[in-house]
Structure 1
Amino acid sequence: MTIDAHFAAIEGNGPHHVLVLHGWALDSGVWLGTRAKSNVMDFTWAYLDFPGYGASRPSQPADGVDGMAASALSAVDELGWTSFSVVGHSMGGVTALRVATLRPEAISRVVALTPVSPGGTPLDEATYAAFANAWDDPGAAIRSNLAPGIEADDLDRLVARNRATMDRPTWEAYLKNWTSADFMGDLSRIQSPVAILYGETDPFITADYLKPTLDHLPDGRLVKLPSVGHYPMIEATAEAQEAIEKALRA
C-alpha cells in the first residue's frame, strides 16, 4: 500500500487510540504545546501530516477533503487500528468528520476544533484571492481574520513553522480542498458522539457558522472555549488539551 500522508509522531501507550489532524496554515506542529500536556497513559496519539506538509514532504497535496480522509484512513490502517477516535483542527476538523462518515463503525469519538463546514465555505472571487494571497503575509491574516488576541511571539513561531513545513502550491491546493467540501448530507452516517469546540473570539468559525453542521449530526454538541480565537491549542494550550480529553472521555 502506498501512503502519501505520514505520522510526525505517535505518542503514548493508552488503550484509547486517537488520530490527530492539523489545519490549513500549519503541519502537525500546531499541536506541539498540547502534545506536551497530553495524557499518554490513557491515550495513544498519532499526529498526521497531510500530503505536502511536514513529514509528508515532498508529496502531492491530497485531492479534496475526500482525498485527505482517504490518506488519513490509509495511514491508520498501517497502524492496525480498528477502533479509534479522531481529533481535527479547522481543515483537519472537517476531515475528521469526513473520516467518521466513511468509517462510522470504527470511530469512538470525534472532536472537531474550530472546524470549517462540511457544506463548503463559498467565497466570492475577491475573498478567495485574499485567502490565497495571505501566503505572502500569513501572520497579518491570522491576526486580523482568525485569532485577534494571539500573543506576538506565538504568532511569530506559527508563521516561522508555516514557512518551514509547507510551500505555496500546498497552501493553494488545500485552500481549494476545504472551501469546496460537500458532504453535509452524509453527517447522518456518524454513529459516534461529536464535540465541536470553537473559540469565543474567533471571527470566522462562530456558533452561527457551525449551526448547520450541528443540526445535521445525530449526536453533536457545541462547546465554547472562552477568550481564544481560531488556535486554542496555541492561545490556551492547557485549557484546549483539557477540553479535548474531556470530549474524548464523554
Structure 2
Amino acid sequence: MNAIAAIEGSGDHRILVLHGWALDSSVWLTARARTDQSRFTYAYLDFPGYGVNRPEAPADGIDGMAAVALDAADQLGWSTFSVLGHSMGGTTALRVATLAPERVTSVVALTPVSPAGTRLDEATYCSFAGAWADPGAAIRGALAPYIDETDLKNLVDRNRSTMDQATWESYLKNWTSPDFLDRIGTYEGPATLIVGESDPFVTAEYLRDTLAALKNGYLKTVKGKAGHYPMVENAPETVALAEQSLY
C-alpha cells in the first residue's frame, strides 16, 4: 500500500499530513494553495479505505492509523518529521508522537478529537453513523454552522467519491474510542492544538484535559466563523497558525 496521495514543496522541514473522518486528503486542497513550499515539504496521506487507498480495508483503531502513518514516513525515507492532522487525524498525529517521540519534531493538531475517546450515548453514536445518508446536514448542523455553501457542497461531493459507508462506520469507531491520554505526556516536543472559534464540537473546554496532559502543549484559535474545518473556512489564518507552530 502506498498511503501518500500527494507530495508538495521542497523545503528541509518535512510534514506528514493526516486527514479526518469525513474526507480523504482532499480536505486540505484549499489550504495547500497557501503553504510555504520553499520552507516545507508536505506529504498528504490517505488512510486505508480513503482516496488512493479506497480498496484497502480500514485501519484498526487509532493505533492502526498511527502505524500506517509511521510506515508512510518510512517509505518516504523520513527519519524525522513533523505531523499535522485534522480532527481524527489530529488525534492520530498525537499518537504517532507518543509511539515515535524520537522521530517527531513537532505536532499540530487541528480541531483534534480527544485521545481519551469521545464517549457518545447510543442515540448520538447512531446519529453520527446515520449521517452517512446526509453528511452535508451533519457537517453544518454539528460541526461547521457557518460554512460557505460552495465549500459544503465540495466536501459532500468529495466525501461520496473518496470513501464508502463501511469506511465511514469503521472510522467512526476509531475516532470515538482511543485511550492514550495517560501516555501523551511521554512526548516532550511542541504540540499545538488549534480550534475554530465557531466549532460547536471541538472546543477549548473539550480539549482541556488533552492540553493539560501535554508536556509542551499550546492552544491557538482560528477566529471568527471558522468551525470544525478551519483549513477550508479560513485557510489563510489556519495555514499561518499551523506553519508558525511547526518546529
Counterpart amino acid of residue 109 in structure 1 = S
Contact 1:105 1:191 in 2 (8 A): no
TM-score by length of 2: 0.98
Q: Which SS does the other structure have where 2:82 is aligned? A: strand
Contact 1:132 1:175 in 2 (8 A): yes
The whole-number CA distance in structure 2 between the counterparts of 1:107 and 1:131 is: 32
Q: 2:158 aligned with 1:136, yes or no? A: no
- 1:241 match: 239
The whole-number CA distance in structure 2 between the counterparts of 1:191 and 1:50 is: 26
- RMSD of aligned residue pairs (Cα, Å): 0.7
The offset of 1:37, in angstroms, is 1.3
- 2:176 match: 179
The offset of 1:224, in angstroms, is 1.2
Q: Which SS does the other structure have where 2:102 is aligned? A: helix
- 1:109 match: 106
The whole-number CA distance in structure 2 between the counterparts of 1:16 and 1:85 is: 8
Q: Percent identity?
A: 60
Gaps of 5+ in 1: none
- 2:5 match: 8
Superposed, 1:209-228 pairs within 5 Å as 209-227=206-224, 228=226
Superposed, 1:82-121 pairs within 5 Å as 82-121=79-118
Counterpart amino acid of residue 101 in structure 2 = P
The whole-number CA distance in structure 2 between the counterparts of 1:26 and 1:146 is: 14
TM-score by length of 1: 0.97
The offset of 1:206, in angstroms, is 0.6
Q: Which SS does the other structure have where 1:26 is aligned? A: coil
Gaps of 5+ in 2: none
Q: 2:192 aligned with 1:195, yes or no? A: yes
Match of 1:54 among 37, 45, 51: 51
The whole-number CA distance in structure 2 between the counterparts of 1:246 and 1:22 is: 20
- 2:61 match: 64
